[in-house]
Structure 1
Amino acid sequence: MAEAAALDSLKWVVSPLLSRLWNEVFNRLGTSKDEQHKLLQDLETISLPGLSLAIEKAENSPKRHQLENWLERLKDAYYKTEEAIDLFTYYELQQKVHDERKSVKPNIVDRIKTEVSSFASHHHMLTSTKKKITEFLQIIKEFRNYRDLLQDGDAGTHDRETVSALEEKVFGRDRDREIIVSKLTKESITDHGPSIVSGLNILAITGRPGIGKTTLAKYVYNYLSKEGHFDIFMWVYVPRKFRAGDVINKMMKAKQTKEDLLVGQLIEQKDSQFELQSSSHDNYPLEGLSVEIKKMFHSKKCLLVLDDFLCCTGTDREQWKKFMSCLSCWGSESKILITTQSTEAVRQVSVPEENIYKLDQLEEDLFFELFMYHASGNTSNMKDNSLEVVGRKVANKLNGDPKAAEVVGSQLRKKGDIIEWEKVSKKDWSGDEIMKSRIWSYQNLHADLQRCFAFCGLFPKGFRFVGKTLIYLWMAEGFIKSANNGKRIEDIGESYLHELVSSHFLDKRVDEEGKENYVDEEGKENQVTFIKSANYVLHDLLHDLAEQVCGANYLRMEYNNYVEIPRDTRNKLSGKENVHHLSLQASMISELKDDICKQKELRTLIIFDGDGTVSKKDLKEIIQTSEKLRVLSLPSCGIKDLPDSIGSLKHLRYIDISGCS
C-alpha cells in the first residue's frame, strides 16, 4: 500500500505542470517560437501521457523502484528549475524598482559601472537558469528507459473533470435518530438519575471511523433544532488535546438559541486554529470563563454536541473534570451528546454503559442506495439497469463504509459510461478495501488537486482550515497556476476548494450565518439565512490518505512525537536532509532549531499550535539558513518583532504572525 502511495505522491511531476514550467522558462529566456512549439508539442503529446501511463503500470513491475528513484530526481530538478526562475524574476523586479527610483542621472562613470554590474548579474542569472533547465531536460530524456512499461496500452490523455455538489442526504438512520432523540428528550437518560457528578446527562455515539457518527449527530441536532426542545444549542468540534478553556470558549462562540436556528440548518462554532478570530472570550482564564458560563447559561436547558471526542490521558481527564464543574449551573434537563471512535474514552469520563450507543453498519440495500446517490446523483430513477448491476459490484468492495461511498461515488459520477464503471468493479482492493478505494479516488483527481489535497496532511488530524487561508497557502506553494483565460489565481483556488468539497475530500463546516429580512411578492415579511463564513476539515480516514500520498519531503511533528510523512519512514528530523515542508509545535522550536537549520531545501515552516513561544534568536538562525522559504506561519508564537534577516528571503510569498504582539 505504501509503495503504491509513494508513486502516486510523485505523479504530479509529470502532469501539465511541466508544460506550465516550460512556458515560464520560454518567457524568461526568450526562446524562439519554433523551438517553444517543438518542445511543448513533444512534452504534451509524447512525454507527459507516456510518463503518466508508465507510473500507472509500474506498481507491480520489477522497474518500480527504478522509476520511483528517477521520479525523485525529476522532482528535485523541477524544484531547482522553479527556484531558478523565481530568482530570475526577483532580480528582474529588483532592477525595475532600482531604475524607477533613480531621480538624478548619474555621471557617465557611475552609469557605466552600474550597467556593467547589471549586465554581469543578469548574465550570471541567465547562465545559472539555463544550466538548471538543461539538467532538467537531460533527466526527462531518461524516460526512454521505461518505455517498455507502455507495451500493454496507449498513452492517452485525460481532460480535467469536475463534479457538482449534491444536496446532503441521510440514508438509513431514521431509527437511530429516533432512539437518540428519545433518550435526549427524557428528563434523565438513565434509570438511576443523572449520569455524572455535575448533574448533567451524557449520551455517546461510538463506532469505527467513517461509519457516520457525525452524520447521525447532525441529523439529531437538526431535528431537535426544528422541534425547539432545548433553549440553547451548541456544536463543538473537540481538539485532540482536550483543554477545558478552549472547549468552553468554542461553546460561547457556538451558542445558538432556538429562535436563532433555521429549520434544517446546522450551526457550528466560529472556530479556526489557523486564522485567529477576535472575540471577547479569547484568552480568558478558566475562572473568568466560568463566570461567563453562569451569566449565559444559568438554569437554561442546553444541548451540547461534542464531536470527535478523544479524552484518554490523565491530563485530559483532569481537564474534563474542570470542564464539567463549569457546567454545574445548567438546567437539570440539559444534555451532552458525544461522538467518538473510542468507547474507552467515554468510559473514562464516567459515561455508563447504557448511555453508550454503538452505531452499526448500514444494511446492504441502504448502503447501495447511498453509494448510487453519490455515483449517479439519482437513486429513484435507475433507467440503466446495467449501471445498477455494476454499481452493486463496486459498492460491495467498499466494506460498508459511508465515507468511501461518498468519495468513490463522486469520482464515478464524473465517468458517465458503463465501461469506466466496469473497470473499477474489476479492481483488486482486497486486503484494505477502504484505503485502496480512496487511493483510486485520489488517483482520479487532477494533478493540481492532488497536490492541494496532499498538502493538508501537513496539519494534524481535526485541524480546521479557513478557506481563504488554505487558498493563499496553495498559491504560495505554487500549486495553483494562473490560467490563460484571464481568471484570477484566487478564483482558480476557490474552484479547487469547491471541487475538493464536492468530491468529499474536504468537509465544509458552517461557522457563522447571517440573517436578512425581506418582503415577498405577497407583501409578507420573511427572513433568509445565508452563510457568512465557513471552515474546512479532513475526515480522519482521508487524513490518513493525505499522509500516505504527500511524499517523503513532508514532515509533521506534534506533541513531542515525530509523526513522519509518509508513515513508513523511520528517520527523524536530525537524519533527514531533504525536508521541503515542515510543521511542528512552537514549544519544539528551541530543541530542534539546529536540525531545522540543516534543511537547506526547506520551503514551508508552519507552527500549528501556539502553546509556547519562538525566540527572535532562534527565528533569526532558521531564516538565515532557509533561503528557499516560501511559507512562514507563526501565529500566536509570542513574537514581538521580526529579525532583519527576513528581508533576505527572496522566495517568501506567505507570512502569518497573527496573534503576536
Structure 2
Amino acid sequence: MLNFSSIWSSQGNGGSDVLPVLRLSYHYLHPELKKCFAYCAIFPQGYLFRKKSLVRLWMAEGFIKESQEGEEMEMIGAKYFRELVSGSLFQWSSYHHSFVMHDHIHEVAESVAGETCFRLEDHAEKCKLCQKTARARHLSYNCGIKKFEAFHGGESLRTFLPLPRYLPYGESSETNNVHLNWLPKLRVLSLNGYYITKLPHSIGDLKHLRYLDLSMTGITCLPKEVCLLYNLQTLILKDCSRLERLPSKIGNLTYLRYLKITSALLEGMPAGLKELKSFKH
C-alpha cells in the first residue's frame, strides 16, 4: 500500500494529479479492505469517526469474519483499521480522539462504492429517495425523515444510518410511526436521535439485524421481540434517559458482543446477560 503523507503537497490543480495515484492504491488493497474502505463513502466529507464504532459497523455488514485460527473479529477489524491508517487513507484527528478521510480519498471511496452507498444530505434530494434506494445497499442521511414509507422499494437496504451531528436544529426526525416492514434485510439500523417512545413489535422480523442503535430516544422499554434478533451483535442505548427495563429473555441474543447503556433508569440487568458467551464485558 502506498503512503500518501508525502504527496499531499504535490496535488496540482484541485488534486487532479493525486487522484489516479489514490485509485491505484485502492486497486492493491486486499479484497476485505476494499469493502471496508468503500463502505466509508456512506459518511459525508469531513465526518469524524472512531475506530471501535467503525469496526462494529464493518462486523455488522459482514466485512469481517473470525479467522480459522480463532482470532476475534474485533482484533481483525482493528488490524484492517491500522492498515488503512498506515496507508494514510484514514487520518488522525485530535478532535475527540477520532479519525477523518482526506477529501480526495473520500472521492475515491465514493467512486468505488458507486450506487451501493447513498447519502441523503438535503431536503431537495428527498425526491430521489425511492429511485436511489432501489439500487443502494447502504443509506445515511443528515436531514429529517419522518415517514418510513419513503423507503418503499428499498427492500435491499442493509444499512439505515442517520448522522445526528449533522441535523440542523429543529430538524430531528420526530415520529412514533416506525414501520420496519419495508426494510427486511437490514443489518444496521440506527434510530439515534429520533423522538420515539416505543419500537414496533415488527422489530423481531429483522432476522438479519446485527447492529441496533437507539441512543437519545424516548423509549421506556424494549419489546420482547428484540430477543428474536438472534444475529444481533451490537446494541447501543446511550442517553436513553427514560429506559426502565430490558427484556427478561435478552440472554437469547447469543451473538450479542457489545451493549452500551448510559443515563438510563434501569433497576437492574437481566440475569441472562451472564450467559452470553460472545459478550464483551
TM-score (normalizing by structure 2):
0.68
Please list, as runs of the form range in 1=range in 2, the aligned pairs for 1:224-623 lying within 5 A after superposition: 370=6, 400-401=10-11, 432-511=16-95, 534-562=97-125, 572-576=128-132, 577-590=134-147, 593-609=148-164, 610=167, 611-617=171-177, 619-620=178-179, 623=180
Query: Does the CA-based 8 Å contact 1:399-1:433 persist in structure 2?
Result: no
Q: Structure 1 pair 552/594, CA: closer, same or farther in 2 (3 Å)?
A: same
Runs of 4+ in 1 over 6 A off after TM superposition: none
Q: CA deviation at 1:495?
A: 0.6
Q: CA deviation at 1:553?
A: 2.1
Residue 572 of structure 1 aligns to a residue whose secondary structure is helix
Query: Does the CA-based 8 Å contact 1:616-1:639 persist in structure 2?
Result: yes
Query: Does the CA-based 8 Å contact 2:123-2:143 persist in structure 1?
Result: no
Q: What is residue 236 of structure 1 aligned with on the other side?
A: none
Q: What is residue 652 of structure 1 aligned with on the other side?
A: 209
Q: Deviations over 1:408-430 (max 9, x none)?
A: xxxxxxxxxxxxxxxxxxxxxxx
What amino acid maps onto 1:606 in structure 2? L
> CA–CA distance in 2 between the matches of 1:545 and 1:496?
18
What amino acid maps onto 1:551 in structure 2? G
Q: What is residue 194 of structure 2 aligned with on the other side?
A: 637
> CA–CA distance in 1 between the matches of 2:59 and 2:196?
25
What amino acid maps onto 2:61 in structure 1? E
Please list, as runs of the form range in 1=range in 2, the aligned pairs for 1:147-226 lying within 5 A after superposition: none
What amino acid maps onto 1:596 in structure 2? F
Residue 115 of structure 2 aligns to a residue whose secondary structure is coil
Q: Deviations over 1:1-21 (max 9, x none)?
A: xxxxxxxxxxxxxxxxxxxxx
Q: CA deviation at 1:494?
A: 0.5
> CA–CA distance in 1 between the matches of 2:16 and 2:143?
36
Q: Deviations over 1:578-605 (max 9, x none)?
A: 2211111351343xx3331221111111
What amino acid maps onto 2:120 in structure 1? M
Q: CA deviation at 1:449?
A: 1.0
Residue 542 of structure 1 aligns to a residue whose secondary structure is helix
Residue 465 of structure 1 aligns to a residue whose secondary structure is coil
Q: What is residue 227 of structure 1 aligned with on the other side?
A: none
Q: CA deviation at 1:478?
A: 0.5
> CA–CA distance in 1 between the matches of 2:86 and 2:212?
29
Please list, as runs of the form range in 1=range in 2, the aligned pairs for 1:66-145 lying within 5 A after superposition: none
> CA–CA distance in 1 between the matches of 2:124 and 2:70?
45
Structure of higher CA gyration radius: 1
> CA–CA distance in 2 between the matches of 1:616 and 1:574?
21
Q: Structure 1 pair 562/548, CA: closer, same or farther in 2 (3 Å)?
A: farther
What amino acid maps onto 1:559 in structure 2? D
Q: Structure 1 pair 562/444, CA: closer, same or farther in 2 (3 Å)?
A: farther
Query: Does the CA-based 8 Å contact 2:121-2:143 persist in structure 1?
Result: no
Query: Does the CA-based 8 Å contact 1:399-1:434 persist in structure 2?
Result: no
Q: CA RMSD in A?
A: 2.8
Q: Structure 1 pair 642/498, CA: closer, same or farther in 2 (3 Å)?
A: same
Q: Structure 1 pair 615/659, CA: closer, same or farther in 2 (3 Å)?
A: same
Query: Does the CA-based 8 Å contact 1:586-1:637 persist in structure 2?
Result: no
Query: Does the CA-based 8 Å contact 1:556-1:562 persist in structure 2?
Result: no
Q: Structure 1 pair 561/492, CA: closer, same or farther in 2 (3 Å)?
A: farther
Q: Deviations over 1:86-134 (max 9, x none)?
A: xxxxxxxxxxxxxxxxxxxxxxxxxxxxxxxxxxxxxxxxxxxxxxxxx
Query: Does the CA-based 8 Å contact 2:130-2:152 persist in structure 1?
Result: no
Q: Deviations over 1:325-371 (max 9, x none)?
A: xxxxxxxxxxxxxxxxxxxxxxxxxxxxxxxxxxxxxxxxxxxxx45
Residue 18 of structure 2 aligns to a residue whose secondary structure is helix
> CA–CA distance in 1 between the matches of 2:92 and 2:156?
33
> CA–CA distance in 1 between the matches of 2:204 and 2:193?
21
> CA–CA distance in 2 between the matches of 1:654 and 1:466?
16
> CA–CA distance in 2 between the matches of 1:459 and 1:625?
23
What amino acid maps onto 2:173 in structure 1? T
Residue 546 of structure 1 aligns to a residue whose secondary structure is helix
> CA–CA distance in 1 between the matches of 2:196 and 2:174?
6
Q: CA deviation at 1:615?
A: 1.3
Which stretches in structure 2 are left out of the alignment for 5+ residues?
219-281
Q: CA deviation at 1:614?
A: 4.0
Q: CA deviation at 1:548?
A: 0.8
Count of residue correspondences: 211
> CA–CA distance in 2 between the matches of 1:460 and 1:561?
17
Q: Structure 1 pair 544/490, CA: closer, same or farther in 2 (3 Å)?
A: same
What amino acid maps onto 2:11 in structure 1? D
